[in-house]
Amino acid sequence: MEKADTPLQQVQANIAQACKIARRDPGEVTLVAVSKTHPAEAIQPLLIEGQRHFGENRVQEAQAKWPALREEYPAVQLHLIGQLQSNKAEDAVALFDAIHSLDRSSLVKALGKAMDKTGRRVPCFVQVDVGEEEQKGGCPIAELPALLDQAREADIPIAGLMCIPPFDIEPTPFFALLDKLARDHGPADDSWGRSMGMSGDYETAVKLGATHVRVGTALFGERG
Ligand SMILES: *Cc1c(COP(=O)(O)O)cnc(C)c1O
């Protein structure tokens, strides 16, 4: 009997299938395994399978877990996917390889300062509030051009846009909107990333242009 696919293999296969339907190159899609709340022992098997991109939503939790794992797996790329307080900007810049939650002017200032100080220029996705739900964070669409200007002035490398659509409604229009915003506000060669899609909707997101999907539950099981 053949061995059953691991959750990682299943998610990778689903991404590949969504790419095929959308006629996209699977190499354009980065799977970010969201390991928040899960201990190192739960992360190890994915590292052994070859997964290298991981997402965390809290600076402190990531600081506690990742330095040791990274010694063993130096190619790991850490993505900060949760809301970031300005007073943690310097710690975040020191630890993470990408920040997906740049969403306000005060944070642009703090991150710009942290990058100047440390000399590490960490690519940032600007989180956009596509569903007009303040509690999830995200820059209002009307304020996006000004925030992008400010980020450029602060010499923050912009990796693209990120969104978390409203819970429990069809995400397609929100993913399509983020894709359009990235095309409208990004460089002429359309090279910006789109960080969108979670366990429940990553295949849909890939069909609509996601370059980074943030998948937790489908890889690690429910969070306790
Ligand atoms: C927790 C989280 C995820 C992963 O969610 P799952 O439904 O477990 O895949 C993705 N993005 C963000 C911003 C998160 O906070």
Please tell me if the CB atom of residue 215 comes closer than 6 angstroms to any atom of ligand 1.
yes
**Cβ atoms of 77 and 191 closer than 8 Å:** no
**Cβ atoms of 220 and 38 closer than 8 Å:** yes
Q: Where are the alpha helices (DSSP H) in 119-207?
A: 144-153, 172-185, 202-207
187-217 burial, b at 16+ Cβ within 10 Å, e below that, comes to eeeeebbbbbbbbebbbbbbbbbbbbbbbbe
For ligand 1, atom 7, name the residue with the nearest CA. 199
* Interval between CA 153 and ligand 1 midpoint (Å): 30
* Interval between CA 117 and ligand 1 midpoint (Å): 30
* Interval between CA 193 and ligand 1 midpoint (Å): 17
Tokens of 64: 């506690």
**Cβ atoms of 89 and 112 closer than 8 Å:** no
pLDDT over 70 percentage in the chain: 99
CA distance readout (Å), 176 to 100, 135, 137, 139: 18, 22, 19, 17
Tokens of 131: 């569903």
- Band of pLDDT at residue 137, cut at 50, 70 and 90: confident
The pTM (predicted TM-score) of the whole model is 0.97
Please tell me if the CB atom of residue 199 comes closer than 6 angstroms to any atom of ligand 1.
yes
Number of residues that this document lists for the chain: 224
- Band of pLDDT at residue 4, cut at 50, 70 and 90: confident
pLDDT for the residue numbered 1 = 60
pLDDT for the residue numbered 224 = 78
Residues 20-68: pLDDT tens digits? Answer: 999 999 999 999 999 999 999 999 999 999 999 999 999 999 999 999 9
Four-point Cα dihedral 179, 181, 182, 184, nearest 10: 120
* Interval between CA 204 and ligand 1 midpoint (Å): 15
The closest of 198, 216, 202 to 18, measured between CA atoms, is 202
Q: Using CA atoms, how far apart are residues 115 and 57, in angstroms rounded to an integer?
A: 20
Residues 147-189: pLDDT tens digits? Answer: 999 999 999 999 999 999 998 899 999 999 999 999 999 999 9
